[in-house]
Structures are given as C-alpha cells and as structure tokens.
Amino acid sequence: MHQHTLTELSQLLQSKQLSSEEMTKTYLARAEKFNPLLNCYISLSPERALQQARAADKRIHQGNAGPLTGIPVTHKDIYCTDGLKTSCASKMLDNFIAPYNATVVEKLNDAGMVTLGKSNMDEFAMGSSNENSYYGAVLNPWDTARVPGGSSGGSACAIAARLTPVATGTDTGGSIRQPAALCGITGLKPTYGRVSRYGMIAYASSLDQGGPMAQTAEDAALLLNAMAGFDKRDSTCVELPVDDYTASLNNSIQGLKIGLPKQYFGDALDSNIGDLIHTAIKQLQQSGAIIHEIELPNTHLSIPAYYVVAPAECSSNLSRFDGVRFGYRCEDPKDLSDLYCRSRGEGFGKELKNRIMIGTYVLSAGYYDAYYLKAQKIRRLIRDDFQQAFKEVEVIIGPTSPTTAFKLGERTDDPVSMYLSDIYTVSVNLAGLPAISVPAGFVAGLPVGMQIIGNYFSESRLLNTAYQFQQKTDWHRTLPEGYN
Ligand code: GLN
C-alpha cells in the first residue's frame, strides 16, 4: 500500500477498497519500524491519528468526503498543533504544547486528513542538512551515512521512505526544495503570501512560506488546494482566489517558454547534475517547450544578502524566547538578567546563537546601513532580475542543489560551504516567487532535483510543467532500497 501516491490512496478510500483506519495503521507501523533508524519524526501521535481516521471513515460512508479525507499527513514540527508537542526541534520548546492549530494544520484537519506525527527539522528551520536538531540528525534513506537536506529534512525523509504519503514543510531559503531534491521527492514553495503563516513558528518573516511535500506534482497540487488561501490572522497573506491546482495539470506544454539561467550552470554545479538537468530539459523540449538562455546577473549576491536578511529577522523573532512566558527556563536564576542569559544560553543551539549574533550586529546602529540596508537593496535587484527574465520566458529551470546529499558531518565545521547548499534556492525567497523541485534522476545512486521557478502566483503553471515531466519519467516512482 505504501508505494501508492496520495491520488491512488484517495481512490482506494473513495471506492471503499480500504478504510482510513487500515491505511493509518499501516503508515504508523512503518513509521514506528523505521524511525529508530532514520530519526525523521520528533513525535508520533497514534491515538489522535486513529481517532481522525475513524472520523474520516465515517465521512466517507456518509458521502461527504473530499480527495484528502482519510489520507495520513505528517506536519513539520514548526507548525503549531493543538494539544501535541511543537518543539521546532529546539530544547527551548521541548516542553511546549501549543494551545491552538496553525491555519495550515486547521485547513488539512478540516479536509479530513489524519496527522501521523511531527517531523524532525533543523532547529527553528535554520540549516541545510538537518544536523541542527536538538533531537539529533535525520538520515537520508538513500544512504544513511548522508544528510537528507534541511530544514524540512524529516518531512522529506519520511516521504522518501514511504512512512507518510505527504507532509507539510516550510521554506525560508530552500527548506522545502533542497531536502526534496536530496531525498528524491517533489516539494513546492508557494508565492510569499499564498499560504498562511499563522501558527507557523517564525524564523525570517519576510521569507518564510509553508508548502506541500509529496511524491508527485499531482499530490502536491491536491495538498496545496487545501493549504492555500486568505487568512485574516496573517497580515501578509494575500486575498486572492485560490486556483484549483489540479485543473491544469493535463494542459499541454507545447510552446512553453523556458529560461535557462547561465548563472545556474556555472562552476559551483556538479557536472553530473548539470548533465541530468540538460537531459530533463530535452525531455521537456520533446513535449513542445521552447528553450531560451537567460541571465540572472545578481545571482552571486543572493547568498550574502540572504545571510544578512534572514539572521536579522531571526534575531528579532527569537527575542520572544526569554524564559519568562513559555519554553525552557533555566534552574534557579539569580536575577532577571541571569534568567534571560541562561535560559537562552542553555535553550538555543550553536547555529542559532551564531545567527542571533550576526542578526543583532547587522541591525545595530552604525552597521545597519552598511549591511542590512545594503542587503535590502540587493534583494530588490534580485527581484528585478527575475522580473526582467519573466518578460521573455514563462518558467525558469535549473538544478535545485549544486550537489547530491553530502555526508553527515562533512559541512558542520564550515558554515560557508553549508550556506552554499542554498545557492539556487535563496534568491527565490528573496524575490517572494514560487518554485518546485522535482526528481530528475540519480548520480551514483543519489537523487537529483530539478527546480522550476515561476512568476508570482503561477503555482498552476509550475505544477502543470512538473506533472507533464512526471508523465514522461519515473524518477519520482523510484524507492530507496529496503523501503519497498
Ligand atoms: N538553509 C537555509 C537557512 O539555513 C534555509 C532554511 C529554510 O529555508 N528554512 O537559513
């Protein structure tokens, strides 16, 4: 059963060949079996899952079920879930039980989905390898000596190993797309404002965006249908009607104008990955797409700009964790200052402290103009590059990540090499655009992702392009050995 996509599982439920309760038990059993090895879950919620499954079965019998009713889902542990621990993979929130649901969780609950548990991640979503978790690293099911990518590595790993059919993720600088690429699954980062951030613990608020992670573009479309939409509790959520993202999947891509940015195929890219992406592009050409070479001249500035803006916003967002109102509090504080210092000192991990320091520095008087303001100006240039490109082409294609999954520990002592993992993803967040990563082949047995970037609110077109590619390829159908 676990080899099925969400779409196939949904058909089994609707035709009553299988109940949600049976399906949920199968996935829970797989999660319990493989999690001790992969460490992709921080918590499982079997009782709640079975309750939700029984309720879903009732809905199916009453004839008022939708395509997601009864389907198991895993939430990244950054989404608040009423009554379940929401740790953000931090000691700071190890004891935090949210008193409410994030809007995304609420919407998927309303659709009748079944929450299996909460997935592991980099602490407060800061990282590209999932090694920055208070609960330990997540392993890549394609090779357990390697990282699954981050920060939504737990969600990506759980889908790749078929411990869950679909999952939620969040993407501030690549955290949906890069782990999707490294684990061989499909992940979509929507346009900034398309999906509510309410109840999604903030990392860098002007960049954070939640989105679907799945085996296929079709499954991602179904999930996005339910996740997207206006929410008055998030002031940056856009009040625009939500497309039916499945409606255009079958459209022909004859005449689709694809841009290949010269800057995405430079020296940083593993040449084997470059070859696979070119093969994938040829396949799209055979379906009628037209290829243009384009320029995104400020690409080299995206990592430096991102690593100023993101830490600045993180230092501000994380100031609320002070040991007073919620989260970790140190033992026997001497006075208020000791309470703040030790609670934060003991509650946050090393990477967070680096970023809080950098963020505080670039925002401080005297340095603000030199760093933060400059980064904001670069951000505008990056956005303008994309807008220039979208005058000529409809989508932009390139690799998602410059390398395949790297070894655990390989980049932990070298933050710059770790940050460079995000070289093709961060500019999309700086510009607020949507982008999807789809499996495009293997190099030495490890999955490679192709990234398709679109203009604002072009999620339908991205999903259509990805779906058409997946009709011609079966990379998304390949399972890591030992999990089939
Ligand atoms: N790897 C990037 C970072 O560490 C992006 C993380 C994310 O998208 N949440 O900030």
Residues 306-328 pLDDT 10s: 999 999 999 999 999 999 988 99
What's the 342 CA to ligand 1 centre distance in angstroms?
A: 26
**Sheet of strand 166-171: strand arrangement:** 41-44, 114-119, 72-76, 166-171, 209-214, 186-189, 435-443, 446-454, 395-399, 257-261, 290-294
Cα–Cα distances (Å) from 396 to 257, 314, 423, 437, 451, in that order, read 9, 29, 15, 12, 8
From the alpha carbon of 171, which atom of ligand 1 is closest? Answer: 8
- Structural domain boundaries enclosing 91: 1-484
Q: Which residues contact 265 (CB under 8 A, 6 or more apart)?
A: 274, 277, 398, 399
What type of residue is 408? Answer: L
Read off the pLDDT of residues 104-152 as tens digits, 9 standing for 90 and up.
999 999 999 999 999 999 999 999 999 999 999 999 999 999 999 999 9
Find the residues whose C-beta lies inside 6 A of ligand 1.
Answer: 125-128, 151, 171-175, 203, 310, 422
CB 120 within 8 A of CB 135: yes
User: Is the pLDDT confidence value at 484 over 90?
Assistant: no
In a 13 Å sphere around the CA of 122, the CA atoms on its Cβ side amount to 30
Quick one: what percent of the chain has pLDDT higher than 70? 100
Q: Which atom of ligand 1 is nearest to the CA of 176?
A: 8
- What's this model's pTM, rounded to 2 decimal places? 0.98
Residue among 226, 259, 264 at smallest CA distance from 245: 226
Condensed to tens digits (0 to 9), the pLDDT of residues 153-163 reads 999 999 999 99
Output the CA 204–ligand 1 centroid distance in Å: 9
Beta strands 395-399 and 257-261 are: parallel
pLDDT of residue 349: 98
* Residue 125 alpha carbon, nearest atom of ligand 1: 9
Contact assessment for residue 74 and residue 104, using Cβ atoms and an 8 Å cutoff: no
Q: What is the DSSP letter of 200?
A: B
Predicted confidence (pLDDT) per residue in 428-482, tens digit: 999 999 999 999 999 999 999 999 999 999 999 999 999 999 999 999 999 999 9
Whether pLDDT at 410 is above 90: yes
At residue 36, does pLDDT exceed 90? yes
Tell me the C-alpha distance between 280 and 175, whole Å: 23
Question: According to the model, what pLDDT value does residue 72 have?
Answer: 98
Active site residues: 76, 151, 175
Whichever domain contains 303, its CATH number is 3.90.1300.10
Give the confidence band of 167 by pLDDT, cuts at 50, 70, 90.
Answer: very high
Bridge partners of 265, per DSSP, are: none
Mean pLDDT of the chain: 97
pLDDT tens readout for residues 210-254: 999 999 999 999 999 999 999 999 999 999 999 999 999 999 999
Which of 130, 172, 213, 427 maximizes ligand 1 atoms within 8 Å of its Cβ, making it the mutation to test the pocket? 172
Q: Rounded CA gap, 163 and 44, in Å?
A: 11
Burial class (CB in 10 A: 0-12, 13-18, 19+), 248: middle
Separation of CA 126 and ligand 1 centre (Å): 5
8-state DSSP, 164: S
pLDDT at 9 over 90: yes
Q: How far apart are CA 284 and CA 291, in angstroms?
A: 9
Output the pLDDT for position 95.
Answer: 95
Alpha carbon of 175 to ligand 1 centroid (Å): 5
The first and second tokens of residue 57, run together, are 């079965």
The atom number, within ligand 1, closest to the CA of 127 reads 4
Q: What is the pLDDT of residues 64-117, one digit of tens each?
A: 999 999 999 999 999 999 999 999 999 999 999 999 999 999 999 999 999 999
Q: Cα(329) to centroid of ligand 1, in Å? A: 26
Could you identify the atom of ligand 1 that is nearest to the CA of residue 203? Answer: 9
Give, for ligand 1, the residue of 79, 123, 124, 126 to mutate: max count of ligand atoms closer than 8 Å to Cβ: 126
Token pair in block for residue 123: 């602490």
| Nearest ligand 1 atom, CA 307 | 10
Quote the ligand 1 centre to 66 CA distance (angstroms): 33
Confidence (pLDDT) at 326: 85
- Determine how many CB atoms are found less than 10 A away from the CB of residue 453: 29
CA distances from 84 to 44, 47, 53, 197 (A): 9, 11, 17, 19
CA torsion 298-258-404-221 (nearest 10°) is 110
Which of 147, 151, 188, 352 has the most ligand 1 atoms within 8 A of CB, as the residue to mutate? 151
- Number of domains composing the chain: 1
Output the CA 170–ligand 1 centroid distance in Å: 9
